[in-house]
Amino acid sequence: MDTLPNSTKLEYSTDEKYMLRCIEIAKNGIGSTAPNPSVGAVIVHKDRIIGEGYTSAYGGSHAEVNAINSVKDKSLLSKSTLYVTAEPCSHFGKTPPCANLIVENKIPKVVIGLQDPHEKVAGKGIEILRNSGVPYSLEY
């Protein structure tokens, strides 16, 4: 349960709680990621954040890569949930596709804040996850 400054108590679902954290850390990239969006990602194992990341300055790593790299015990990735504010990318640009990295790391569940409207992604990242058998939700 989180408390706002005016003492109003709000109850969030687990997914909402971690997506709010993604949004909070995505703010760290604002102003340096253009033309890419500033995205946030957290990795959760047994209701505990074990990794998080946001989009690096343009040309650098995406949020999902930074979150995965921040996890100390990589064996936990295959038992964790990845939360990310935007659909994982699906194309090679300055960096390889994040959707493929998720599949390679055997992350068993992904919660996505929004589908990426960019023509090079636009559902293709979700398609990679689906075709690889990775359960995902797109609810926000």
**C-alpha Rg value of the chain to the nearest Å:** 15
Residue 25 has, within 13 A of its CA and on its CB side, a CA count of 24
- Sign, CA dihedral 84-85-88-92, equals negative
DSSP 92: -
Q: Catalogue the active-site residues.
A: 64
- Sign, CA dihedral 105-75-95-125, equals positive
Reduced to 3 DSSP states, what percent helix, strand and coil does the chain have, rounded to the nearest 5? 30, 20, 50
